[in-house]
Amino acid sequence: MYSSPRLAGNTSGEPLKGASMAKLKIISAGTGEHSTFPLTQSMVRIGRHPDNDIIIGDHRISRLHVLIERKGEAFRIKDPKSPNGTMLNGTELVRDQWYPLRPGDKIVLAKGAATLEFVDESQPPEVSFSDTPVAEEATVFRSADQIIGDIRPSDATRLLAAGPQEMLRELARMQRHVDKLSERLTLISKLSQALGSVSRFSLDDIYQRSIELLFKFTPADRCTIMRMDRDTDQLQPVCTRYRPGREEIQSLPISRTITDRVRREQQSLLWTHSTADSQAPGTLVKHGIHSVMCAPLIGLHALVGVLYVDRQSPTEFFDVDDLELLNTVAGPTAMAIDNALAFEQLRREEMTRAAYNRFLPPHLVDKLVASPEAIQLGGANKVVTILFSDIREFTTLAEKTDPRNVVELLNDYFTEMTEIVFANNGTLDKFIGDGLMVLFGAPESTPQDAINAVRAAIEMQQHMVVLGQQLRRYGFPLIRIGIGINTGEVTVGYIGSERRTDYTAIGDAVNLAARLEGRAAPGQILISESTVAQIGDAFPVRRLGPAQVKGKTEPIEVFEVLWTKA
């Protein structure tokens, strides 16, 4: 049941000196009502537990679901490891990792249990857009690879034949050309220095360094970097900065007509307006914007965004040189963004593999890496087949054997058993002492789940024959295992505390599989009637008759898999 969020009386974070204008607007999933909570502490805890600063009483919300921390003037958010996850602007947060918060960011907890909007009135407001068309005759276009314009050195013969005055003019023009080339090379060098170590930078670092160079080499009053949002297929501002002393222009609109055209044609654009131009776009001129430049940020495979700069001076405009400087910055910036995104994607994939390789078969890990939404790891009721196995007489073995040899034996045994489990599309739930628990049908179900479970059990018993013979050569006694299998509906998902959770299954069907394993003799595989119904005649089985097991008021039918005949 959902209850409206509330601010707790006890706060875990230290109050900050001075008034904070940052706050969270929380939208109730049940009623749609809005609640506002000022972020006046250095650390704000949000979750279901009463000890949190902001309490959201929905069963899908974890006891501690997210943390919001203030570092100086910046805010950041982290999902400590909630089972149902957190989305920031449509992207799921990697667990236990900090992410920066910006004004207007949308935070969705537990697949829609609650929606939060981060508001910080001390930071510049979101950029507004103008859709007013721009005057066509006031524009200049350059393709992204036209960094240096059409200026070429004069023909040497013509220069030598020229008179003194013409020669001076040509030499002056050539000097300007050389100066322009020098300026471009200087800028490219500085870009290389600034963005060369991109693997150590966040996207915010890239945005900031690129904009700093634009302010240094162009007369821009405002610089905005916009990125393509793949979900909406629209350009969204991700970073806006103002030249010191020009902060008063922060509420001025951006021409969507210009940005959409640059995006569509993938050509940089220069627009200027003189006070005598009667065809100027009304909205921009009304706000005193007389000159705009915009360049595409073209990555290796696609457009990643645009660079947009403008200035207010009615008499001093951007010129073609400025446009070429913008193009000079746009190229390396796009490459740096592309590299940073690729680096982040690889890092996420590495984290995903590290997190799931230990209990999921490789093909499911590959699916999670390629499409995280394709496999649901949240809590759900599913019909699965559960397998338990245990080494018989292991306690006696451990008492008579050097502990180091026991650990080595267990590691070898679990390594071999895990390979068999994964080869049959099983999910390794946990190791339990010298035993293990395996799920077939979670997180991904197939019609073959019960058959895969019994086949895995047979292969485990067959492998134990070989392993037992090998161990006896080294003085170990004969080692055998008992296995129990049951099929039924269970609850699967991440279960545990806020500090540690495991992907597992709970329910009566799990308990029955464990009871069957407990009844199994060394070298025996016992399965339930529900599992027999699922496997049909795929394997030879023998009915053992009804048996009374703990937790059941009525006897259950028990069957043995004749694995030596399979």
183-342 and 371-565 in the same fold: no
Q: Which pLDDT score is estimated for 217?
A: 81
Q: Which pLDDT score is estimated for 128?
A: 61
Contacts of 338 (CB under 8 A, 6+ apart): 299, 300, 304
Question: Which CATH superfamily hosts domain 183-342?
Answer: GAF domain (3.30.450.40)
Contacts of 296 (CB under 8 A, 6+ apart): 144, 262, 263, 266, 267, 268, 303, 306, 330, 334
Query: In angstroms, rounded to a whole number, what is the distance separating the alpha carbons of residues 294 and 154?
Result: 31
Thinking of the domain 371-565, which architecture would CATH place it in? 2-Layer Sandwich (3.30)
Amino acid at 21: M
Top CATH class, 22-120: mainly beta
- Return the bridge partners of 118, or none: 24
What is the residue extent of each domain of the chain? 22-120, 183-342, 371-565
Task: Say if CB 333 and CB 299 are below 8 A apart.
Answer: no
Q: Which pLDDT score is estimated for 434?
A: 87
Give pLDDT tens digits for 385-427: 999 999 987 877 777 778 887 888 888 889 899 999 999 999 9
Q: Which pLDDT score is estimated for 16?
A: 42
pTM tops 0.85, yes or no: no
Amino acid at 217: F
Q: Which pLDDT score is estimated for 364?
A: 74
Task: Say if CB 82 and CB 62 are below 8 A apart.
Answer: yes
Give pLDDT tens digits for 452-470: 999 999 999 999 988 877 7
Does pLDDT of 565 surpass 50? Answer: yes
What share of the chain has pLDDT > 90, as a percent? 26
More confident site: 144 or 79: 79
